[in-house]
Amino acid sequence: MSTRQVCLRCRILEIMETVDQYVIPAPSVPCLPVRNRRAGFPVHRIYCVGRNYAAHAIEMGHDPNRESPFFFLKNPDNLVTDGGDFPYPAKTEDVHHEVELVVAIGKGGRDIDSDEALDHVWGYAVGLDMTRRDLQAEMKKSGRPWEVSKAFEHSAPCSAVVPASEIGHPVEGRVELRVNGDVRQQGNLNQLIWKVPEIVSCLSGWFELRPGDLIMTGTPAGVGPVKRGDLVECSIDGVGELATRVV
């Protein structure tokens, strides 16, 4: 049995005898709830797509034309689940909300054909790609990596996963984000520049996808700052809802 399988068992089946195989306490496997089920969705990696709605590309000062998708990552343990709070992070004065459709991968693979890509998708969720925008601008300007702006603690609030076996594979549906009741972001899944099958196919050419991978598919226009005390509410028609309080 591989180390990975042992880890998963530790967490999910709570078989504690295996812990003595590690010299320090084993990190737990991050996990999302699954709507209406007791079993969870264990998370392997979190991939994110940049600039996947034309109106958002334009608001960020980029060409909205269909250039190849690009990807960055967050850490699996950056997830905030069950509507938990979002603690305002350090070293920034400009944290932005980005509401996104999240794809949950159930079957791994490499160089997946876009025709077969949906067979690899187990379900969907509503996620927030929280971003330290001021740090991202600095990193872009200096040509440095984005992690400090994207992959910080609590940077990935996410709803429960809903199985594709229940909701299908949504290709349209209103995407909305409200802050304290005011609509800030509004779009539709039919505005995605790169569709889910294309994203899965392209990403699997760069990385070997594994069961448990999440893909945040990009945000519509209207990104903007949050402050402590704000209630951020997101919804994607046909997929679900997510709310988090900035504390």
- Where on the chain is the footprint of Mn ion (CB under 5 A)? 98, 129, 219
List the one residue out of 194, 158, 187 whose CA is nearest residue 173.
187
Between 29 and 102, name the residue whose CB sits nearer to Mn ion. Answer: 102
* Shortest separation between residue 245's beta carbon and Mn ion, angstroms: 21
* Shortest separation between residue 233's beta carbon and Mn ion, angstroms: 18
Token pair belonging to 219: 């945000």
Which residue of the chain is nearest Mn ion when measured via CB? 129
What is the secondary structure of 70-118 as a DSSP string? Answer: -EEEE-GGGEE-TT--BPPPSS-S-EEE-EEEEEEE-S-BSS--TTTGG
Between 131 and 201, name the residue whose CB sits nearer to Mn ion. Answer: 131
* Shortest separation between residue 206's beta carbon and Mn ion, angstroms: 17
* Shortest separation between residue 237's beta carbon and Mn ion, angstroms: 19
To which H or E segment does residue 236 belong? strand 231-236
Between 29 and 155, name the residue whose CB sits nearer to Mn ion. Answer: 155
Between 10 and 185, name the residue whose CB sits nearer to Mn ion. Answer: 185
What is the distance between the alpha carbons of residues 69 and 67, in angstroms, rounded to a whole number? Answer: 6
What single letter denotes the amino acid at residue 3? T
Token pair belonging to 222: 């209207």
* Shortest separation between residue 141's beta carbon and Mn ion, angstroms: 19
What is the distance between the alpha carbons of residues 35 and 159, in angstroms, rounded to a whole number? Answer: 9
Between 7 and 54, name the residue whose CB sits nearer to Mn ion. Answer: 54
